[in-house]
Copies of this chain bind each other. A is one copy, B any other.
Amino acid sequence: MVLSKACTYGILASLYITRETNKKTGYVSIGRMSKELHISFHFLTKILQELTSAGLLTSMKGPKGGVALKQDAKDITLLDIVIAIDGMELFSECLLGLPGCGNEEPCAVHNEWGGIREQLYQTFRSKTLATTTQQIDEQNLRFALPELLDS
């Protein structure tokens, strides 16, 4: 898996928060969010805490509490979220697992991987929460896990 599950959940949750913020002001309840995205409440809470301590979200306890974007949606990129949860490794590591990926000691796939990795980086960097939620609305894109039906 390219991104950890925690990271994908963090992205989906951030998009959800952005969309809710567009509708009404105030904090978004984690409980409600976990139900609508079909993500475990406690697990989601842990992930959002990471985003909060990374300075991307703010939180408020108590009734009417929840989480909210700390910055404007157009100033937070998907890259910010990826880095906050998974770190920078994806964008600096050798595809063959050799230590110290770089042009000094390239491995057999370094040339190709360097370019691909850069595209991945620019993709995340160019997508802000604002532009991405706009695309979701305009093109009816998916941004939530499906309801899991117990057999």
Contact = CB atoms under 8 A, between A and B. Distances in A.
Interface in A102-129: 105-110, 112-113, 115-116, 119-120, 123, 127
Contact of A8 (B97, B132, B141): B97
Nearest to A135: B108
A99 interface: yes
Interface residues of A, number: 41
Contact of A98 (B99, B112, B145): B145
A3 interface: yes
A83 to B, nearest CB: 15
Contacts of A1: 89, 93, 97
Interface string A59-101: 0000000000000000000100000000001100101111100
Given A90-B2, A116-B119, A146 B106 contact: no
Contacts of A112: 119, 123
Contacts of A123: 109, 112-113, 116
Given A116-B116, A116-B119, A116-B120, A108 B127 contact: yes
Contact of A15 (B2, B108, B127): B108
